[in-house]
Amino acid sequence: MSDILLEVKDLKVNFYTYAGVVKAVDGVSFSVRKGEFFSIVGETGCGKSVTARAITKLIKPPGRIVGGKVLFEGKNLLKLPEKELKKIRGKEIAYIYQDPSSALDPLYTVGYQIAETVAVHNPLIKIKNAFTKAVEILKEVAIPDPVKRSTNYPHELSGGMKQRVVIGIAMVNKPKLIIADEPTTALDVTIQAQILDLLKELKEKYNTTIMMITHNLGVVAQVSDRVMVMYAGKVVEIAPVEELFEKPLHPYTQGLLAAVPNPLKKVEEIKAIPGFVPDMINVPKGCRFRPRCKFATEKCLQQPSLIEVEKDHWVACWKYWKR
């Protein structure tokens, strides 16, 4: 399929701690299509951020990628030498980090940090000359008085402004894929909406693809085309956004939607999912949601794989297997 930009196959990432091995990402597969807004949702610690960082091998010890493939335009990134990956990071695949106050180096002006991101990927451009580019991109991300702002240090800007700068850094090399890891979590609610609008607007303008990681279903509903739900290091469901909110199939997704005011439906009673997120060192056998699932059967002691229940709607649950 030519419209697939990124394909992740059976990705496995382990963290080796003193208490034992944490299988943070355990056999995750999905694909992102060109030009779409793809979201990954899940609770804290479900492996969504680790998945995002593993795509360009940004996993540091004690973590290690132990298996799988990441095909980006057909190339397996996990097999590429570090030198080649450095050319891809920030150029072909750009990241937006969660907390803009800690993502920017406090000792350099924001203009410099944008300019160096340009220069490092274009050997012909010197950092000094890239400053015009920095001012242009600041204008793109709707920062007022970009010429003056480019000479500001991060601490002189507000949180929302800083996140705009981070988005600017991500956009400046016109990447094919932007991975936004909780881009709005650290921001005020009012600013969140602005940042999401900006992301969407820039995505259309540059005709790029966005993969967003979030734990906020409201944010997912606002911008996504397709959504992937993760639980305890596994994919449980992948579906177009309307499908997912209207017809969630996996018991976990259903619980998740019941636990928050559904943004696409009338507000009903809010129910918490019983039980706790499993201990990631001693994970439950079979389906990881089994101990908390009211539909659990004998069958669930085996891990179900993803099946396409309806067109484009995938779920990993025995309930939907036709026996």
Partner 1 sequence: MVSMPRSRSFKFLMELREKNQARIKELRLMYEVLKKSPLALIGFILVLGFIVIGIIGPYITPYDPIKIDFSNMIKERLQPPSWKHWFGTDEYGRDIFSRVLAGARISLMVSIVVMAIAIPIGIILGLLAGYYGGVVDEIVMRITDIFLSFPALILAIAFSATLGASIWSAMIALALVWWPGYVRVVRAQTLSVRESLFVEAAKAIGVKTSRILFRHILPNVITPLLVLVTLDFGSVILTSAALSFIGLGAQPPTPEWGRLVADGRKWFPTRWWYTFFPGLAIFLTVLGWNLLGDGLRDMLDPKFRRRLEFRKGDTNE
Partner 2 sequence: MAELKYYLIRRLITFVPTILGVLLLVFVISHAVPADPARLWAGGEKAKPEVVEMIREKYHLNEPMHIQFYYYIKDLLSGNWGESPVTKRPILEDLADYFPATFELAIASTILMVIVAIPLGIISAFKRDTIIDHLVRLFALMGISVPVFWLAIILQWIFYYQLGILPATGRGIEPSVSYTGLYLLDSLLAGEFDKFVTNLSHIILPAITLAFPGIGVIARITRNSVLDAMSSEFIDFAEARGLHGFQFYRHVLKNAMIPIITVLGLQFGFLLSGAVITETIFAWPGIGNYAVKAINALDYPAIMGTTLLIGLVFVIVNLVVDVIYALIDPRIRF
- Catalog residues that contact partner 2 under the rule CB under 8 A: 53, 56, 58, 86-91, 94-95, 97, 99, 102-108, 116-117, 119-121, 153, 155, 166, 169
Taking the complex as a whole, the smallest distance from the CB of residue 18 to partner 1 amounts, in Å, to 3
**Of 315, 185, 182, 309, whose CA–CA distance to 252 is shortest?**
315
Residue 20's binding partner out of partner 2, partner 1, none, with CB under 5 to 8 Å set by partner kind:
partner 1
62 binds partner 1 (CB under 8 A): no
Extract the tokens encoding 244. 């997912």
Q: Which helix (H) or strand (E) holds 133?
A: helix 131-140
Please tell me the distance from the alpha carbon of residue 320 to that of residue 111, in angstroms, as a whole number. Answer: 53
Find the binder of partner 1 among 1, 2, 3, 18 (CB under 8 A).
18
Spell out the long-range contacts of 145-149 with Cβ–Cβ below 8 A and sequence spacing 24 or more.
149/110, 149/111
- Spacing of C-alpha 92 from chain mean position: 16
Residue 311's binding partner out of partner 2, partner 1, none, with CB under 5 to 8 Å set by partner kind:
none
Q: Which residues of 242-257 are buried (b: 16+ CB within 10 A; e: fewer)?
A: ebbbeebbbbbbbbbb
Taking the complex as a whole, the smallest distance from the CB of residue 199 to partner 2 amounts, in Å, to 17
147 binds partner 1 (CB under 8 A): no
Taking the complex as a whole, the smallest distance from the CB of residue 59 to partner 1 amounts, in Å, to 20
Residue 17's binding partner out of partner 2, partner 1, none, with CB under 5 to 8 Å set by partner kind:
partner 1
**Phi and psi for 310 in degrees, rounded to 5?**
-125, 175
Binding mask 117-146 for partner 1 (x = CB under 8 A): ------------------------------
275 binds partner 1 (CB under 8 A): no
Taking the complex as a whole, the smallest distance from the CB of residue 95 to partner 2 amounts, in Å, to 4
Residue 206's binding partner out of partner 2, partner 1, none, with CB under 5 to 8 Å set by partner kind:
none
Please tell me the distance from the alpha carbon of residue 247 to that of residue 225, in angstroms, as a whole number. Answer: 15
Please tell me the distance from the alpha carbon of residue 200 to that of residue 181, in angstroms, as a whole number. Answer: 15
Residue 19's binding partner out of partner 2, partner 1, none, with CB under 5 to 8 Å set by partner kind:
partner 1
Q: By the 8 A CB rule, do 6 and 78 touch?
A: no
Of 91 and 164, nearer to partner 2 (C-beta) is 91
Taking the complex as a whole, the smallest distance from the CB of residue 81 to partner 1 amounts, in Å, to 32
Of 16-24, 207-215, 265-273, 313-321, the window that binds partner 1 (rule: CB under 8 A) is 16-24
User: Cα angle at 223 between 219 and 226, to 5 degrees?
Assistant: 100
Taking the complex as a whole, the smallest distance from the CB of residue 155 to partner 2 amounts, in Å, to 5
**Of 33, 29, 35, whose CA–CA distance to 47 is shortest?**
29
- The footprint of partner 1 (CB under 8 A) covers 17-20
